[in-house]
Amino acid sequence: MTDKATPAVPEGDSVANGVNDRRTSYNDFVIRFANVNGSGSASANGMFAKALFRMGIPVATRNIFPSNIEGLPTWFEVRVSEKGYAGRREGIDLMVAMNAETFAEDVASVVPGGYLLYDNSKELDVRLRRSDINLVGVPISQLVLPEFPNPKHRALFKNIVYVGALSALINIDFDVITGMVSAQFKGKDDLIAPNIHALEIGRHYVLDYLVCPLPIQVRYSNGASDKILVDGNTAAAIGAIYGGATVCAWYPITPSTSLAEAFEQYCNRLRVDENGERNFAIIQAEDELSAMGIVIGAGWNGARAFTATSGPGLSLMTEFLGLAYFAEIPAVLWDIQRTGPSTGMPTRTQQGDLLSAAYASHGDTRHPLLFPSTPNECFDFAVAALDLADRLQTPILVMSDLELGMNDNLADPFTWDDERSYDRGKVLGADDLERIETFGRYLDVDGDGIGYRTLPGTHPEKGAFFTRGTSRDEYAAYTEAPEHYSANMDRLLKKWETARDLVPAPVIEEQGRLIGIVFYGTTALPIPEALDRLLEDGVEVDTMRLRGFPFTDEVREFIDRHEIVFLAEQNRDAQMKTLLVNDLGLDPARIDSVLYYGGFSISADTIYEQVSERLVEYNVPRLRAVGGGGRGTAPRKDREYRP
Amino acid sequence: MTFVVKPRVRHPLLPVNELGLTRRDYEGSVSTLCAGCGHDSVSAAIVQACAELSLPPHKFAKVSGIGCSSKTPSYFLSHSHGFNSVHGRMPSVATGANLANRELYCIGVSGDGDSASIGIGQFAHIVRRRINMLYVVDNNGTYGLTKGQFSATNDKGSTSKKGVPNLYEPIDLVSMALQIGASFVARSFSGDKRQLVPLIQAGLMHKGFAFIDVISPCVAFNNHNGSTKSYDYVRDHSERLVSADFIAPGAEITVDYDSGALEDVAMPDGSTLRLRKLDEDYDPRDRIQALTQVQRSAEAGEVVTGLLYMDADAADCHDVLGTPSAPLNALDESVLCPGTEALEGVNAQLR
């Protein structure tokens, strides 16, 4: 070990002397930062990702965090992909290991030939050394010690130092980073100089002592140059504003909290008029029951209202959801799904609430679900859900998840048509009531199962009715007569059929192949990469991305047309499969499930491997022979592959 | 069960109010509650109060939870919309309804089971939120619809119909409301219309959260000797503290008072609330004193009634939120949608 006063390259840490035999690659790696939460790493890591994005490079970020404020391990992962792969890929190419507690596990997660950036102020335990990876030691603690006397600042600036080191190691345009620092601390100019100084400390050290840049590096790209970088919850919040939501009631629960908070933040910017009047009402309720009750009260009284929650909140809201289904009240619920129940794993992602959402509540209930895959769809579906809720007079549940809701992803800039007007559904005003002879709240006048409603206070004489759950006739008069109950239930089914054509249609990419892969929500993110890998093996597939429940006829037809149908989802019980089987009356054997439920987002590797294994079992022919003799099987003559 | 529509026949001698409407125009459908139920007296008092105030009978939002009391909104103001919602969750529905349209008079009717047990959380939080509404609890100390179980407001030692004493401490919603910020708190008795009607009027005209706990005996399950919520017990043990009379703007003050110190309170709409204090030392604007008085009387087995506390200048939830004077449900795209240009600004910040 070298003299601590004069940092130098510890033995064996030189990249040039390591196992590096990689050819230089650009914009194609996975970097993971291992930190202790509460240490200020989030803003430094965010700055890193944003710098690459500013260079036009496609990035996808992932926070893996504990249910904790300070002291527990947290990871931040950035998928850098010129091809635009946004899904998770197994294996870390570059690990920034800043957490002693998880160090061993972090070192183990690096792919052979990958890089480990670590603080070598203390000598690395020999037991943790790996001969098949490259060690990139930067004595970060030693470097900050003389520069920042305040220990609290020192801890924060350690994060900035490794960003500075990375700028040289992977060749980030340093002006981009310093520009971001200047913009971020605009108005707090005394913070700019020390941050830039910290960046330079890291940068200069690696430039002086290590071989730079590494073979994995970045360069300017057009891959993301016309994009925005945004998380799904923010996109949904902005969409809710554009969609005309005026009432938001919510209860804090990760990972949905940031949706309500973003709604408030953007309302303060976009919904306060020149007189200072705030054209919105946000209530942080005492629990999710109340949040849903407020949404339903507001919807009953004609305001566009929504709530954002996650699995446990959805459970608490189920009684109200049933009431709103029967009482036919518009409501929008964003379920940012997480692993359940309780605390701990729930700060991880999952698509585990489908069944509890689709059939939430007692009695015969079913609710339309929307499945956004991208921030753009979060925006669009936020608007669509408000329209659908008014049109169908029923709760609409938007099934996002932690992966989409809380992580920054590339998106197209949001667009809006200024000519667009809201669909407020069938609401009778005072003039309408004057015109019609009889008003029956639950009369199916149009044959689509949807009655006309009136809002409180509309007319002095006409249109008032008493809202109840079930015990009513078509004119909203109290009755417990069986024929009225059954007729009402049948009308609600008719409304369900109407909903079938109104929810977003699936996105189908099809060229008459034998195999179809069905997926939805964030399971879509790793699909392009998984498909490319299957294609390398000579396997071509058609795809269908589901976006709404109930299912349109296209969904059934796609399944019918494919001999082998995979359905990839992120839960144990194949919940979407159950919905398909239930709603379309499918034979369960028609669908092969690809399942992942470990708490991370599903990776391209998982999809590729599970599909490949099954294809081997089915002895499915390939387009061409697979190199290396691994998985491939000879084509069967009786089952010609249809290109 | 059948739904009975009341015949809409107007007696020629029925007095009309300023809108040219009679009390009939403020009624609802025929009650299905037991004969003699206190709740029907409360509904009748609401009808009378609204008719006398000449409020437009369609400009109400009536909300309730589940239970005998929660059925009553269909027995008054049939020209207004009502919502019989979820057990214990009326406060949240009322909150949403009030947020959507602040111009409607919001009346919530609940019971002691609905508000003090399953809904105690929602009750507490709607008080905190200062929703501008009249919140009436028909308090009979028992679960009527499920046939006579003790409710959380039932006094310790008070007996069931079969003579079994209640073993648990009661929850006093009046004390709770006082403690967590209600700006209008009253207690009354369904058998005392003379006190109840003006209290309802004052509560309706009060801006902010107005709470009236009405002891409303259950003739089927809690009106026996040994019950502290029976007609006889309440008549014998009630102690009127402050009476209130609502006087419309510009109206001549002719109300006849027999005794007590008078005090006029100006209401936000220009009307006057005339308080009559039977105890001259009692100040209904002193929240701490009100709490003390209520607790002390309860300790003595007495039921203090009247307008116990009022802050006429309190802010309501809309004031706190800074919402516009127009109802939120009346705003359209032109106000709600920030448009393309603003969206480009949003995009620019996300680059």
Q: Is residue B323 within 8 angstroms of chain A, CB to CB?
A: yes
Contact A283 B99 (CB under 8 A): yes
Tell me the per-residue pLDDT of A335-356, one tens digit each, with 9 for 90 and over: 999 998 877 777 899 999 999 9
Q: Which of B81, B91, B124 sits opposite A456 (nearest CB)?
A: B81
CATH number for the domain running over A507-629: 3.40.50.920
Residue A500's closest CA among A326, A366, A322?
Answer: A366
Q: What's the ipTM?
A: 0.95
Q: What's the number of domains chain B is made of?
A: 1
A167 contact B CB<8A: no
As a whole number of angstroms, the distance between CA A589 and CA A629 comes to 30
Q: What is the pLDDT of residue A633?
A: 40
Q: What is the per-residue pLDDT for A37?
A: 87
Interface contact B340-A286, CB threshold 8 A: no
Q: Which CATH number fits the domain that encloses residue B38?
A: 3.40.50.970
Q: Which of A568, A576, A565, A566 is nearest to A601 (CA)?
A: A568
Section A219-226 average pLDDT:
95
Which of A281, A293, A460 has its CB closest to that of B328?
A281
**A283:B93 CB<8 A:** no
Domain with CATH 3.40.920.10 in chain A: 15-217
In this prediction, residue A2 carries a pLDDT of 37
Query: Which residues from A are below 8 Å from B95, CB to CB?
Result: 249, 283, 290, 293-294, 297
pLDDT for position B245: 82
pLDDT at A282 exceeding the cut of 70: yes
Domain that holds residue B325: 23-349
CATH class as words, domain A229-411: alpha beta
Output the six-digit token pair for A588: 């369960």
| B291 close to B177: Cβ distance less than 8 angstroms | no
And the tokens for A189?
Answer: 């100019």
Q: What percent of chain B has pLDDT over 70?
A: 94
- Encode pLDDT of B66-100 as tens digits: 999 999 999 999 999 999 999 999 999 999 999 99
- Contact present, B350 and A229 (Cβ < 8 Å): yes
Fold topology of A15-217 = Pyruvate-ferredoxin Oxidoreductase; domain 3 (3.40.920)
Q: Is residue B275 part of a domain?
A: yes
Nearest CA among A78, A40, A578 for reference residue A358: A578
Candidates B5, B104, B336; nearest CB to A456: B104
Tens digit of each residue's pLDDT (9 = 90 or more) over A467-520: 998 789 999 999 999 999 999 999 999 999 999 999 999 999 999 999 999 999
Which pLDDT score, from 0 to 100, does residue A621 have? Answer: 73
Beta strands in A73-133 (DSSP E): 73-81, 92-97, 110-119
Nearest chain B alpha carbon to A457? B59
Three-state DSSP class for residue A257? helix
Angle at CA A119, nearest 5°, toward A115 and A121?
A: 140
Residue-wise DSSP of A5-48? TS----TT--GGGTT--PPPEESEEEEEEEEETTSSHHHHHHHH
- Grouping H, G, I as helix, E, B as strand and the rest as coil, residue B250 is coil
Alpha carbon distance B239, A156 (integer Å) = 66
pLDDT tier, A26 (very low <50, low <70, confident <90, very high otherwise): very high
- The residue of chain A nearest to residue B79, with distances taken between CA atoms, is A464
